Structure 1
Amino acid sequence: MSVNSPELGQRLRNFVIAVVAIGLTLALVLGIQTRTPSASLTELAKSATPLEQALANGKPTFVEFYANWCTSCQAMAGDMQMLRMDYRDRVNFVMLNVDNSNWLPEMLHYRVDGIPHFVFLDDQSEDSGFAVGEVPRAILAENLDALVAHQPLPHGQAMGQASEVEGTPAPPSGSTDPRSHGAQVSQDR
């Protein structure tokens, strides 16, 4: 059985195409795996530093006002996880759910009207700046670097796409609010 040259050329061409396809598939899979890690807001909130502890431990604090329904908050969850990994030993990461009325005093104090709303507090818990909406991780990192170095924030008032905070938060559990009509709301804290 002899193999003619055109048939050999066709087989070689098919082999090269298959190898290139496998290589592209591997590159795509590896590229997806090296993207920002996925994170959920619930997981981030569970591992966050409690506000009271953050205000008392003498470290700079990065506060995020968020809501689980907020698409901008969800879109930034991976970036928040990466920032936590990069700054975990130097900065407190606090998450306050705007749907929890326990945080209403803080929401009013920091004038939260869009989320995510980020507040940068120095090591004395003094307000150093804020960012609202989907802000690039690099900008937040530059602010965190400045906060750790006791320098003015390079982006003290950064703005991006945000979700509006609607209405007022639900009352604490066990209390009634005439506007709630008896509805119970979960309390993420």
Structure 2
Amino acid sequence: MAANLPESNSAPSDPRWRNFIIAMAAIALAIALSLGFRTQTPTTTLETLATKAVPIDVAVNNGKPTLIEFYANWCTTCQAMAEDVSKLKTEYGDKLNFVMLNVDNTKWLPEITRYRVDGIPHFVYLNPQGESVAETIGEIPRLIMAANLDALIANSSLPYAKASGQISAFAPKIMPSQSNTDDPRSHSSQVKSEN
């Protein structure tokens, strides 16, 4: 006894057959879209990187070179680079420190001022003694960052020390007061009163 299957010569005109094909195509499309969106979603977030970062006070004192990233959660450029920074951390994490400083946290205002952060992401490369040897700003391709990290680890000049890319503008909300002598870019002179 045969099941109620459409005959081969009437299959294309049978509405049940056509509905079956449409349903299968819809299922295949849904699976393809689901997989496509899943592969495009970044798996690394800035928060994840920040929680796994080395504290700055440890980094400047442990004798290893350091990469500091100034970032913000709202920074789309920072978000776009998170996956690459995570891969670099996996590759270089045993040879150097990765420090993440959120510019929205006023705790980091002295560092923001010291390194003159006015756009993010802002990367500062520190030698093993904790001294700044180069800075880059904006979205930097992973290969360029890797070349800089290789040079930093080798204690050589960074090949892309002045690299820059797309940034998110940033201005600190509060600036610490400085005397004119503290700022080498200040051209005003102090006047002493004689009384």
Identify whether the pair has TM-score above 0.5, normalized to the shorter chain. yes
Match of 1:97 in 2: 102
Q: Residues of 1 paired with 2:137 and 2:167: CA distance?
A: 7
Structure 2: 5+ residue stretches without partners: 1-32, 176-195
Aligned-pair CA distance for 1:165? 0.6
Cα-Cα RMSD: 3.3
Q: Residues of 1 paired with 2:144 and 2:131: CA distance?
A: 20
Task: For residue 56 of structure 1, give the secondary structure of its aligned residue in structure 2.
Answer: coil
Match of 1:119 in 2: 124
Q: Residues of 1 paired with 2:172 and 2:144: CA distance?
A: 30
Alpha carbons 2:59, 2:99 under 8 Å: kept = yes
- Please list every run of at least 4 consecutive aligned residues from structure 1 whose deviation after the TM superposition is greater than 4 angstroms: 28-37
Aligned-pair CA distance for 1:79? 0.4
Q: 1:61 to 1:35 in 2, by over 3 A?
A: farther
Equivalent residue pairs, number: 171
Deviations 1:128-176 (A, max 9, x none): 1011000101111000000000101001111000001144169xxxxxx
One of 39, 46, 56 as aligned partner of 1:41 = 46
TM-score, normalization by structure 1: 0.72
Match of 1:79 in 2: 84
One of 48, 54, 59 as aligned partner of 2:59 = 54
2:62 equivalent to 1:67: no
Match of 1:162 in 2: 167
Aligned-pair CA distance for 1:38? 2.3
More off after superposition, 37-46 vs 103-112: 37-46
Alpha carbons 1:113, 1:165 under 8 Å: kept = yes
Deviations 1:48-100 (A, max 9, x none): 00000001100000000000000000000000100000001001000000001
Structure 1: 5+ residue stretches without partners: 1-27, 171-189
Alpha carbons 2:103, 2:172 under 8 Å: kept = no
TM-score, normalization by structure 2: 0.69
Alpha carbons 2:68, 2:99 under 8 Å: kept = yes
Q: Residues of 2 paired with 1:121 and 1:114: CA distance?
A: 19
Q: Residues of 1 paired with 2:87 and 2:41: CA distance?
A: 7
State the identity %: 55
Aligned-pair CA distance for 1:35? 8.0
Q: Residues of 2 paired with 1:86 and 1:30: CA distance?
A: 27
State which structure, 1 or 2, has the greater radius of gyration over its C-alpha atoms. Answer: 2
Amino acid at match of 2:83: G
Aligned-pair CA distance for 1:103? 0.7
Alpha carbons 2:53, 2:99 under 8 Å: kept = yes
Amino acid at match of 2:72: A
Amino acid at match of 2:148: N
Q: Residues of 2 paired with 1:169 and 1:69: CA distance?
A: 19
